[in-house]
Amino acid sequence: MALADTDAISPAELQLAARNHGMPLEALRHDVTPLGLHYLLIHYDIPIVDPASWRLDVGGLVAAPRSLSLNDLRALPQVTRTVTMECAGNGRARLDPRPVSQPWLLEAVGTATWTGVRVRDVVEPAGGAVDVVFSGLDRGVEGGVEQRYERALPFETALADDVLLAYEVNGVPLPPQHGFPLRLLVPGWYGMTSVKWLGAITVIDHAFAGYQQEVAYRLRAHEDDPGEPVTRMVPRSLIAPPGVPDFMTRRRFVDPGVVELTGRAWSGHGAIVSVEVSADGSTWHAARLEPAGDPAAWRGWSFTWDAAPGEHELRCRCTDASGRTQPDDPPWNVGGYANNAVHRVPVTVRDA
């Protein structure tokens, strides 16, 4: 992957930023992200799918191949989960040097309520199963190879209780950009796992070696490092920016006195056990955690800040039940994945 030495974003990166959608951080105030504010990362084009002729083909090493319509799927036991999803590339544009791809700052996240069926109610692997491949209907060229978007999960993971095939989001049929008519949903994993516009599920007897598994989405120290696969989300917390913004710089302006800070924290490795806030970069204070909702959804937090006039930098960091926390400085890798460095928000507190 190309690297950029400076802060300057290239025309190719701008093209990606102009079509993919971040969640404006003030939307952290919503428990469930309103439709249209959830992040979107779309590798190729958004397909237009005719739901009448669409079928999900389930094949390979299965007890019996199946071809399922949307009505067939709706007749199966229904499951609803509220899930926080983050792009593996969130934070990429904060890395130095910057891997050249979709230049996310911190907005590639969202929480939605998804409804569908369990994968295990649709797929019955036969003996010898190793991986379950999920194939999207979206096509394009990447790394010089034309491909449909495909990712796989080990079959035990694919059949876990919480892995869904979703046909609704926030109570309505999936809109085109979220994978209409059906998408995979793997709670706790980065978003590249949750294949959209599903066309086929295929059980295979070997480890899947497709482009999005073996070339993209790996944590590589250098170009020749085979690296480790990107899987579950590392912990991250974000602050809903207080006060009002400057249009151009997005710097925040706040009146002095008591300011109720709020935000969200999540991890794919375990429940959030603490969130800490700092206004001086060295003293950290425990934030209050809101009651937990769906274990796959972000956890709300709040902190009462006594804001004195002047320039400040607010920071937050979280720790999960596995003991993982957020580093002060961005962890670097060739693809620019999983940068969960501490969130920093510069704030100007006005004079009284």
Rank residues 24 and 65 by Cβ distance to a second copy and give the closer one.
24
42 binds a second copy (CB under 8 A): yes
Quote the CA–CA distance of 123 and 192 in Å, as a whole number. 21
349 binds a second copy (CB under 8 A): no
6 binds a second copy (CB under 8 A): yes
Position among 75, 80, 96, 139 found at the interface with a second copy (CB under 8 A): 139
3 binds a second copy (CB under 8 A): no
Cβ proximity of 301 and 237 under 8 Å? yes
What are phi and psi for residue 72, nearest 5 degrees?
A: -55, -45
272, containing H or E segment: strand 272-278
Q: Among residues 287, 297, 280, which one has the least CA distance to residue 319?
A: 287
Q: How far is the CB of 2 from a second copy (least distance, A)?
A: 9
Quote the CA–CA distance of 116 and 110 in Å, as a whole number. 18
What DSSP line would sit under 195-243, residue for residue? -SSEEEEEEESS----HHHHTSSEE-SSTT---EE--BPPPEEEEPPPS
352 binds a second copy (CB under 8 A): no
Rank residues 240 and 273 by Cβ distance to a second copy and give the closer one.
240
Q: Among residues 287, 203, 234, 245, which one has the least CA distance to residue 91?
A: 234
Position among 175, 229, 257, 346 found at the interface with a second copy (CB under 8 A): 175
- Kindly indicate which of the ranges 17-25, 115-123, 326-334, 337-345 contains the residues binding a second copy, using the contact rule CB under 8 A: 17-25
Position among 31, 72, 142, 168 found at the interface with a second copy (CB under 8 A): 142
215 binds a second copy (CB under 8 A): no
Q: How far is the CB of 131 from a second copy (least distance, A)?
A: 23
Q: Which amino acid is at 6?
A: T
13, containing H or E segment: helix 11-19
Position among 84, 91, 104, 303 found at the interface with a second copy (CB under 8 A): 104
For a second copy, how many residues bind (rule: CB under 8 A)? 60
Q: Among residues 275, 292, 293, which one has the least CA distance to residue 284?
A: 275
Quote the CA–CA distance of 351 and 334 in Å, as a whole number. 44
43 binds a second copy (CB under 8 A): yes
11 binds a second copy (CB under 8 A): yes
Residues 305-344 that bind a second copy (CB under 8 A): none
Rank residues 24 and 323 by Cβ distance to a second copy and give the closer one.
24
10 binds a second copy (CB under 8 A): yes
52 binds a second copy (CB under 8 A): no
- Give me the 224-253 binding string for a second copy, x by CB under 8 A, dash otherwise: -----------------x--xxxxxxxx-x
Cβ proximity of 121 and 76 under 8 Å? yes
176 binds a second copy (CB under 8 A): yes
CA 183 to chain centre: 14
Cα distances from 16 to residues 19, 22, 216, in angstroms, run 5, 11, 17
34 binds a second copy (CB under 8 A): yes
Q: Is the dihedral of CA 223, 226, 228, 229 positive or negative?
A: positive
* Residues making contact with a second copy (CB under 8 A): 6-19, 21-22, 24-27, 29-30, 34-38, 40, 42-46, 48, 93, 100-101, 103-105, 107, 139-142, 146, 175-178, 241, 244-251, 253
